């Protein structure tokens, strides 16, 4: 826990002093400016929303609404990774449930690693799971993870899931950044070391 807190403070300090460039971000359309291009809907529903995490009128977010039951998943395009290397996944998200605060659902962000062979085939494992509990307002999240020794590619997956007696849920994701550790600065409220 101390290590997680220390790393979160260190990264927040870095984000305050580092220029906000995302040259090392491996994901296409990570800010969902006008649509969900670069991302595929794998299960359920996903749509572009004009709501932006940082209030930009020229940008938006990915919205994963669910009514009644189940879950929705969107996944990024396939990106190349270095086996055994450390990567950061950082993002802004909010998860809204109906009724609010009543056995809520949640959102999740994770990385799916793929083994040697053709890119994004022969799944290896998922890691860096970041759970986004239901709450009003955008929050920042992050996780550091290490690619498996046999990984050659990866996808970032964003999920919304109803839990308990929630009737509906809508998870929003924005500024989803994935790249080599230390290369995607952002101010974080929650950071997990995998």
pLDDT in tens, 93-129: 988 776 665 556 788 999 999 987 778 887 777 777 8
Q: What is the pLDDT of residues 8-54, one digit of tens each?
A: 433 343 343 333 444 489 999 999 999 999 999 998 889 999 989 98
Q: Assess whether pLDDT exceeds 60 at residue 5.
A: no
More confident residue, 84 or 186: 84
| Per-residue pLDDT at 43 | 87
| Per-residue pLDDT at 37 | 94
Closest CA to 92 of 181, 28, 30: 30
**Is the full-model pTM beyond 0.95?**
no
| Per-residue pLDDT at 34 | 94
| Per-residue pLDDT at 113 | 93
| Per-residue pLDDT at 9 | 35
> What is the DSSP secondary-structure string of 4-62?
HHHHHHHHHHHHHHS----TT---TTTT-SSS-TTEEEEES--EEES--TT--TT--EE
pLDDT, mean of residues 122-149: 85
pLDDT, mean of residues 59-72: 84
| Per-residue pLDDT at 166 | 62
| Per-residue pLDDT at 33 | 93
Closest CA to 183 of 27, 74, 52, 32: 27
| Per-residue pLDDT at 135 | 80
CA angle 7, 181, 116 (to 5 degrees): 135
- In this structure, of 50-54, 75-79, 149-153, 167-171, the range with the lowest mean pLDDT score is 167-171
pLDDT, mean of residues 153-165: 85
8 Å CB contact between 38 and 27: yes
Counting residues of the chain whose pLDDT is more than 70, the rounded percentage is 75
Q: Is 2 helix (H, G, I), strand (E, B) or coil?
A: helix
| Per-residue pLDDT at 4 | 41
Residue with tokens 């299960």: 43
């Amino acid at each position: 826990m101390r290590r997680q807190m220390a790393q979160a403070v260190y990264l927040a300090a870095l984000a305050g002093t580092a220029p906000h460039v995302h040259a090392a971000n491996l994901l296409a359309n990570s800010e969902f400016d006008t649509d969900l291009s670069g991302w595929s809907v794998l299960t359920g529903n996903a749509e572009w929303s004009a709501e932006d995490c940082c209030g930009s009128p020229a940008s938006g977010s990915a919205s994963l609404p669910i009514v009644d039951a189940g879950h929705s998943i969107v996944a990024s395009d396939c990106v190349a990774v270095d086996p055994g290397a450390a990567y950061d996944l950082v993002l802004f998200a909010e998860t809204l449930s109906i009724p609010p605060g009543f056995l809520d659902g949640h959102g999740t962000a994770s990385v799916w690693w793929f083994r040697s062979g053709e890119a994004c085939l022969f799944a290896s494992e998922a890691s860096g799971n970041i759970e986004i509990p239901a709450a009003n307002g955008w929050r920042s999240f992050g996780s550091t993870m290490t690619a498996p020794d046999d990984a050659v590619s990866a996808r970032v997956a964003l999920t919304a899931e109803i839990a308990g007696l929630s009737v509906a849920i809508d998870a929003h994701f924005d500024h989803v950044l994935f790249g080599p550790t230390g290369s995607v600065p952002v101010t974080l409220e929650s950071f997990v070391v995998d």
